[in-house]
Amino acid sequence: MRKPEAPSPAGTTPAPARSPTLGASGDEWWRGAAIYQIYPRSFADSNGDGVGDLPGITAHLDHVASLGVDAIWLSPFFVSPMADFGYDVADYCDVDPLFGTLADFDALVARAHGLGLKVTIDLVFAHSSDRHAWFIESRASRHNPRADWYVWADARADGSPPSNWQSVFGGPAWTWDARRRQYYMHQFLKEQPQLNVHNPAVQDALLDVLRFWLKRGVDGFRLDALNHALFDPRLRDNPPARDHGPRTRPFDFQERRFSQDHPGVIAFVERIREVCDAEAAERGTAIFTVAEIGGARPLPLMKAYTAGDSRLSSAYSFAFLYAEDLTPRRVRSALAPWRGRPGRDGLGEGWPSWAFDNHDAPRSLSRWCPADMGAGERQHFARLEVMLLAALRGNIFVYQGQELGLEQDEIPFAQLRDPEAIANWPLTLGRDGVRTPIPWRDEPGGGFTTGVPWLPLSPANRARAVAVQDADPQSLLAWTRRVLAVRRAHAALRTRALEDCRTSGALLVFRRGTGKGSLLCAFNLGRKPLRLDVEGTTLLAANGATPAVLPPWGAIYIAG
């Protein structure tokens, strides 16, 4: 790994910083923060090659800051052959030329900080690219300094793979390599070999990656697929899955008892926290860490990875990302384990992070709005959705374009880029439809590029462009800014406990905090008006809601 370089001077003049609102000392700026996810390929293209880049992001950070969010999360921008569009990393400490340079990254950080935005980046520690120098050396022989930096195993007596483990993207999680006459493990694409994070030297190298980006001014890390980082060293076979849900891949037929979720991840998590705390002590402000934890039963891992003061800040919930509908019972069930202890703001039980959309899941409006819903009704639903997300206890993530009400784009098979979608077409919806570029203007190319976009923009989403909604005070963009401003201004919505969560049919009601400053949050997730009949002062209401009545898709925050 190259030695860290000193950050280059920023190429832009920072705007005046906003006053911090999440703790006067800034010690835990992230607790209750709203974080905006940027998928670099699809945010803004500065050079006309059809792919978004770091200078494009920097040039449009004013839009992000105008939303009232506290931080950005950048999906991978590292050197990569792009087999999985950046989640196959060939160099953890450099920027892929497609996206720019390290100097461009430094300029982005400086501009973000000047706008009062913290910067969180996505790190992939479970696997690398097969073109990473570490893997090239590891596969060269069974006897070299990095021979055991990846997961290698001999074939069974009949030549078959060492275990029955299956990869997420389809097929065995093992590929034969003639150089070593062994199989190597990969939980995703064969171009993404599994790092042997059981090896202390591998952990040391990954912790050096953290230090490299911390010294460049990064404020936090989203740790991709962290529960995939360790595995059963005995390589025992996974048992068959006990549930009989949808099965579109061999991966779905197994209970992943031995191929992921190894308890040894906890010790690695604590080492990550030590590195981040050392940097935080120098800065006088916390470093944010959030784990992505998928799987059939993620809750125990989410709790374990965030318990106490020596592990991660938060865990990223999948409770809503692939949900086919949005119901009061679903919300109540998701929130129940994270209500918080009165007077302690939940410090004793871990801290969740919530998202309705991200770069992997189909757009929530396309999943949750009934097919017969008209444009006006969809706008009402979108307004309710923003208010519900902002009322959740924990950190909230807003995925780029969510503030515009973008819907899932339909990508013809010939234009698909997502390897999972291509391999499993048409049973797997794929990720391309949520990764189409941001429309900045309603014109060909959407103002995203002067060239041909790497994925096509639909006319329907182009009509929802930033410039169009900026000019309309009644737009969803304007509403999102208003809702996030209310969340920023009220500690009850950012950090206080969730109390008395109740559901009745389409009605969802809960309170954030107790006593002075608490807020009642009520939502009608249906098409018929509902009686509410509560007392208090309306702080914010959507779609004509009042303390007496919630119209269809009505939502309200009530103080008192």
Instruction: Cite the active site residues.
Output: 224, 292
Which is nearest to 437 in space by CA: 460, 456, 459?
A: 456
Q: Two tokens at 171?
A: 């097929």
- For the chain, the C-alpha Rg in angstroms (whole number) is 23
Inter-residue contact 447 to 465 (CB < 8 Å)? yes
Q: One-letter amino acid identity for 39?
A: Y
Inter-residue contact 298 to 292 (CB < 8 Å)? no
Inter-residue contact 558 to 391 (CB < 8 Å)? no
Distance between first and last Cα of the chain? 56
d(CA 446, CA 448): 5
d(CA 39, CA 399): 8
HSE-up of residue 161 (Cα within 13 Å, Cβ side):
21
Q: Two tokens at 244?
A: 């009989």
Inter-residue contact 83 to 67 (CB < 8 Å)? no
d(CA 476, CA 373): 17
Strand, coil or helix: 184: strand
Q: Strands (DSSP E) along 192-330, which ranges?
A: 220-224, 288-292, 314-316
d(CA 8, CA 435): 30
Q: Strands (DSSP E) along 434-533, which ranges?
A: 498-504, 507-512, 519-524, 530-531
Which is nearest to 125 in space by CA: 134, 116, 117?
A: 134
Q: One-letter amino acid identity for 117?
A: L
